[in-house]
Amino acid sequence: MNIQDNYIKNKKNIFFSENKDIETYREKLINVFESDRLDKKNNESLKNINLKNFIDFNYKYLISEETSVINNNQENSYSIVSVNGQCSSFKDDKIEITKILDEDYNDFSKNDTIENNDHFVNLNSLFLNSGFKIVIKKNNNIKIKISNIITDDDLTIFQKNNYICEEGSSLNLIEEYENKNNSTLNLLNVIKLEKNSQLKHFLIQDNSSNHNLIITSHSTCKKDSNYTQKVYNFSEGYVRNFHYSELIEANSEADLQGIFFLKDNNTSNNKTFVKHLAEDCKSNQVYKGILKDRSKATYFSNTHVDQVAKKTEGYQLSKGILLSDNASYFSKPELKIYADDVKCSHGSTIGPIDENAIFYLRSRGMSRIAATKILISSFINEELSSIDNEQMSEIIQKKLVRYLSKVK
């Protein structure tokens, strides 16, 4: 089915289809997909995957009868179970959870540079059928854990979540994605950090092999704010992590990190994009990957420094370990710098496990497999040891052990 028919057929299930402005915009997007000029060859979001599989899909969405749960188990700590992308409303003096509204639609969805380049965000804008908005009120220090659950097979969920951290607030956000159904989750997170706010965002991804997980996030940081994101990808299915960050006011910071463990025929596409639009900002982009069997990964990182962004510090690092002959890793660490008073650097390495280190361990009586496992653990140790949440650290350790048990 072509994309237009698909949209018209399912219109009643899709958010904001009565809004005229949004409808006109969606028509424009459909035209982008239908036009011959759709550039599939040079598009970063499409490397190693076939866009056709994502455009010709069977749309299926159900509002589940299982209700989502919001549980205030400790003071300042909430756990949320989001079912099929939905979450019921909630309000207290610290946080407020509501449905997304028409006016939230425009955030990031309508972005000129994305329109032509990121087809998955466009698909999200077209078929949007779920999502919620969380506001952290002024000067509160909050912990939230969100478990994303999909109830039925073959669902296609297009979700948009908005997070707003008000002035002086601080949020520790853990998101878990563990889905075993043959479904697709296309999630767009739009994050706004007001003055002097802080967000630590952890994403733990562990999907079964027939599930597609497409996560895009866009964060904007105002004065003195700080956004830290850590992605842990243990999935067996296709995962896409595209994270855009804009530093719009002075002295803000963005730190985008990720590690991924791939095996079998799995593919993972990753991208981080930091735009420095104000003075004295800092950014850091670090991705590490371990690939075995016939897995493929791409990592695009981009640091853009605007002319006004003086005293910028921007660092990028990409590291990959290939454990098999048939694995492949593509990285493109890009720097675009239009200001002169900056310190920017990037580094990228791809290679096998260091034979000298293996030799050292083996000469001390270790088997080759044990030595390999130790070296892989040490490769990502920095990322794991920086987790300050004990519960989460345990979860991740378990998943790592599971991955390592398959290393031969």
Judged by the rule CB under 8 A, the positions of this chain that interact with another protein are 42, 307, 310, 320, 322-352
Structure tokens at 107: 């955030």
Supply the minimum distance, in Å, between the C-beta of residue 355 and another protein.
Answer: 9
Supply the minimum distance, in Å, between the C-beta of residue 88 and another protein.
Answer: 46
Residue closer to another protein (CB basis): 237 or 314: 314
Residue closer to another protein (CB basis): 77 or 113: 113
Supply the minimum distance, in Å, between the C-beta of residue 336 and another protein.
Answer: 5
Supply the minimum distance, in Å, between the C-beta of residue 367 and another protein.
Answer: 20
Supply the minimum distance, in Å, between the C-beta of residue 290 and another protein.
Answer: 11
The kind and range of the H/E element at 252 are none
Grouping H, G, I as helix, E, B as strand and the rest as coil, residue 243 is strand
Supply the minimum distance, in Å, between the C-beta of residue 310 and another protein.
Answer: 8
Supply the minimum distance, in Å, between the C-beta of residue 258 and another protein.
Answer: 17
The kind and range of the H/E element at 127 are helix 119-127
Residue closer to another protein (CB basis): 154 or 306: 306
Supply the minimum distance, in Å, between the C-beta of residue 335 and another protein.
Answer: 4
What single DSSP character describes residue 13?
G
Supply the minimum distance, in Å, between the C-beta of residue 308 and another protein.
Answer: 9
User: How crowded is residue 38: how many other Cβ atoms within 10 Å of its Cβ?
Assistant: 15
Residue closer to another protein (CB basis): 51 or 342: 342
The answer to whether 223 touches 194, Cβ cutoff 8 Å, is no
Supply the minimum distance, in Å, between the C-beta of residue 350 and another protein.
Answer: 4
Residue closer to another protein (CB basis): 153 or 334: 334
Residue closer to another protein (CB basis): 338 or 360: 338
Supply the minimum distance, in Å, between the C-beta of residue 375 and another protein.
Answer: 14
Query: b/e map of 50-85 (b: 16 or more CB within 10 Å)?
Result: ebeebbebebebeeeeeebebeeeeeeebbbbbbbb
Residue closer to another protein (CB basis): 42 or 74: 42
Strand spans (E) along 178-281: 184-193, 198-205, 212-221, 226-233, 239-247, 253-262, 267-276
Structure tokens at 109: 């969805």
β-pairing verdict for 90-91 and 212-221: unpaired
Residue that the structure tokens 């390592």 belong to: 404
Structure tokens at 343: 């310190």
Please name which of 285, 279, 108, 136 lies closest in space to residue 197, comparing C-alpha atoms: 136
d(CA 158, CA 124): 5
Residue that the structure tokens 């700590």 belong to: 77
β-pairing verdict for 90-91 and 132-136: unpaired
DSSP track, 313-340: EEEEEEEEEE-STT-EEEEEEEEEE--S
Residue closer to another protein (CB basis): 102 or 341: 341
Say which residues have a Cβ less than 8 Å from residue 365's Cβ, sequence separation at least 6. Answer: none
Residue closer to another protein (CB basis): 138 or 343: 343
Residue closer to another protein (CB basis): 149 or 342: 342
Say which residues have a Cβ less than 8 Å from residue 119's Cβ, sequence separation at least 6. Answer: 33, 38, 43, 45, 46, 51, 54
Residue closer to another protein (CB basis): 73 or 356: 356
